[in-house]
């Protein structure tokens, strides 16, 4: 199995069609940089990038870049990479080069957008990180479920329910921590319902998740309209305030971005590391992945498939509830109807984009978060691009990448397949 997978991946990497397709993408990006971005910039224009995020203790002078020169250099690099990829190919380094090209193109876009103006780059990165938090947490919830073979599209409903419960309990108890615990337990209860339907009674997992989403949307909207809209005491929990990590927060540029946050951002980094190690370097993770890949073989080796799937779904529910708590206890400080705005579904896209890995999903979450943050920033700069097009960009990129630019994502083999013990 492992040998076949390795050979298939090698064939994908060395495929002439893939090589030419990626080369063509590079050339298109280079031509856009040269004939669209560079042509709209004057020879004397400079792009000024602010390097101080909100709350930064160490101030850094803005970074000023000669716009036209920078765009010419970026265009030359991207076009050169495209030509080499088209005729020779970077082979096993293709994905790394792709990441560099995309980064260069996005920087060129920012240079063009900020030409003759000032863009707070540190603020953009900080906003990107904060917007990526609920998306990545939703993706981690999906990974916990699907690595064990259970499709969970109910993450959106779990997040929404957790957000509502967190707001109410946090308001009534006067404790944000109690509210956060309630949010996580709500996600756990919703996950148990999903597991009960899909694991025990073998209900179609897509249908089960859809039902839970519809139920959560209707119930939270009703409670919000009936009890919360006119009762501030039930919907005013407050939010977790950012706190500094001494010493690290003084680092120029990245200090205020990474080390001045609330508990949700710090928890995200902890979850990423713990999940990466647990999934791929522990016996527990090996058993979970075995259940998701070949449950019959896992059962033969003495692994309790049903119990493993229940535990995984429950952990995913706790993660989704925690993500829901972010909206009411970490960001807004109150509950509003359908306030998750599809972040659970975007989290599933990030999970697939990241090939069912924690850090891959985090990278995808940053992509979606960057598009969201960029749309707001460019509206302030009055760039003549509708914000709707910017919000579409990560979804288009996802479709292109999942269609074969990076290589086909591989879901666990038994994902969504009920297990019938013989």
Residue 299 has pLDDT above 80, yes or no: yes
What is the rounded CA–CA span in Å between residue 391 and residue 369?
10
- Check pLDDT > 60 for residue 83: yes
User: For the chain, what percentages of helix, strand and coil (3-state, to nearest 5) are there?
Assistant: 70, 5, 25
Q: Is the pLDDT of residue 363 over 60?
A: yes
pLDDT digits (tens, 9 = 90+) for 159-173: 999 999 999 999 999
Q: Give backbone dihedrals phi and psi of 83, rounded to 5 degrees, phi first.
A: -65, -45
* Structure tokens given for 161: 């329910």
Look up residue 233 and give its two tokens: 């005491």
Written as one string, the DSSP assignment of 321-345 is: HHHHHIIIIIISSS--TTTTTTHHH
**What residue spans of 88-225 are helical by DSSP H?**
94-113, 121-146, 155-173, 176-195, 205-223
- pLDDT at residue 15 is higher than 80: no
The domains of the chain are located at 13-116, 122-405
Residues 156 and 345: their CA atoms lie apart, in Å, by: 6
Per-residue model confidence (pLDDT) at position 388: 72
Looking at the chain, the whole-number percentage of residues with pLDDT higher than 70 is 92
Helix (H) or strand (E) holding 65: strand 63-66
pLDDT grade, residue 410 (50/70/90)? confident
Own/partner pairs, 5-9, CB within 8 angstroms, 24+ separation: 5/410, 9/407
Residue 405 has pLDDT above 60, yes or no: no
If DSSP codes are grouped into helix, strand and coil, which group holds residue 243? strand
Average pLDDT over residues 6-33: 76
Q: What is the mean pLDDT of the chain?
A: 89
| Greater model confidence, 178 or 387 | 178
Tell me which long-range contacts 8-13 makes (C-beta under 8 A, separation of at least 24): 9/407, 12/404, 12/407, 12/408, 13/91, 13/92, 13/94, 13/407
Per-residue pLDDT averaged across 82-97, rounded? 88
Q: What is the distance between the alpha carbons of residues 371 and 394, in angstroms, rounded to a whole number? A: 7
At residue 315, does pLDDT exceed 80?
Answer: yes
Quick check: 237 and 329 in contact, CB under 8 A?
yes
What pLDDT was estimated at residue 95? 77
**Percent of the chain scored above 90 by pLDDT?**
70
Place of tokens 């280079």: 30
Could you tell me the CATH superfamily of domain 122-405? ABC transporter involved in vitamin B12 uptake, BtuC (1.10.3470.10)
Q: pLDDT of 164-220, one tens digit each? A: 999 999 999 999 999 999 999 999 999 999 999 999 999 999 999 999 999 999 999
What is residue 403's predicted lDDT score, i.e. its pLDDT?
59
414 and 149 in contact (C-beta within 8 Å)? yes
Q: Which residues contact 235 (CB under 8 A, 6 or more apart)?
A: 167, 168, 171, 228, 334, 335
Distance CA 321, CA 29 (A): 40
CA–CA distance, 74 with 104 (Å, rounded to integer):
6
> In this model, does residue 387 exceed pLDDT 70?
no
Higher pLDDT, 53 or 70: 70
pLDDT at 4 over 70: no
pLDDT in tens, 230-280: 888 999 999 999 999 998 999 999 999 999 999 999 999 999 999 999 999
- In the predicted structure, residue 40 carries a pLDDT above the cut 90: no
Name the more confident of 176 and 18.
Answer: 176
Q: Read off the pTM.
A: 0.90
Task: With a cut of 90, say whether residue 98 has pLDDT above it.
Answer: no
Burial class (CB in 10 A: 0-12, 13-18, 19+), 6: exposed
Mean pLDDT confidence for 129-154: 96
Asked if pLDDT for residue 228 goes beyond 80, the answer is yes
Q: What's the pLDDT score for residue 1?
A: 42
CA distances from 294 to 119, 170, 289, 301, 353 (A): 51, 42, 8, 11, 23
Give all strands of the β-sheet with 46-50 in edge-to-edge order. 63-66, 46-50, 118-120
Start-to-end CA span in the chain (Å): 24
Q: What tens digit of pLDDT does each residue of 266-296 get?
A: 999 999 999 999 999 999 999 999 999 999 9
Of 50 and 379, more confident = 50
DSSP one-letter string for 39-53 = GGS-TT-EEEEE---
Q: Say if CB 407 and CB 95 are below 8 A apart.
A: yes
């Amino acid at each position: 199995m492992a040998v076949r997978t390795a050979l298939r991946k090698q064939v994908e990497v060395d495929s002439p069609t893939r090589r030419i397709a990626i080369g063509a993408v590079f050339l298109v990006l280079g031509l856009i940089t040269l004939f669209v971005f560079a042509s709209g910039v004057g020879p004397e224009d400079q792009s000024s990038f602010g390097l101080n995020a909100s709350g930064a203790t160490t101030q850094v002078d803005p970074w000023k870049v000669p716009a036209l020169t920078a765009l010419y250099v970026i265009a030359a690099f991207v076009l050169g990479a495209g030509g080499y990829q088209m005729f020779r190919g970077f082979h096993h380094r293709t994905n790394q080069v792709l990441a560099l090209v995309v980064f260069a193109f996005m920087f060129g876009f920012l240079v063009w957008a900020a030409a003759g103006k000032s863009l707070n780059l540190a603020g953009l990165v900080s906003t990107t990180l904060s917007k990526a938090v609920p998306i990545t947490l939703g993706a981690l919830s999906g990974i916990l479920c699907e690595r064990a073979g259970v499709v969970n599209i109910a993450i959106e409903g779990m997040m929404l329910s957790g957000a509502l419960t967190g707001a109410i309990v946090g308001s009534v108890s006067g404790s944000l921590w109690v509210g956060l615990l309630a949010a996580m337990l709500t996600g756990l209860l919703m996950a148990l319902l999903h597991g009960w339907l899909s694991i025990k009674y073998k209900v179609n997992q897509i249908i089960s998740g859809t039902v839970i989403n519809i139920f959560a949307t209707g119930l939270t909207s009703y409670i919000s309209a009936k009890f919360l809209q006119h009762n501030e005491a039930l919907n005013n929990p407050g939010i977790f305030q950012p706190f500094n990590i001494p010493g690290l927060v003084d680092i120029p540029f990245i200090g205020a971005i990474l080390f001045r946050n609330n508990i949700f951002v710090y928890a995200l980094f902890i979850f990423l590391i713990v999940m990466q190690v647990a999934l791929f370097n522990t016996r527990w993770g090996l058993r979970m992945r075995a259940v998701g890949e070949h449950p019959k073989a896992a059962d033969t080796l003495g692994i309790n498939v049903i119990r493993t799937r229940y535990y995984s779904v429950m952990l995913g529910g706790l993660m989704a509830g925690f993500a829901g708590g972010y909206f009411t206890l970490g960001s807004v400080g109150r509950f509003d109807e359908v306030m998750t705005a599809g972040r659970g579904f975007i989290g599933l896209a990030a999970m697939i984009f990241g090939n069912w890995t924690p850090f891959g999903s985090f990278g995808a979450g940053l992509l979606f978060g960057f598009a969201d943050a960029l749309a707001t920033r460019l509206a302030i700069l009055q760039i003549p691009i509708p914000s709707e097009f910017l919000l579409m960009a990560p979804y288009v990129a996802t479709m292109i990448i999942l269609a074969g630019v990076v290589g086909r994502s591989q879901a666990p083999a038994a994902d969504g397949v009920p297990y019938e013990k013989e």
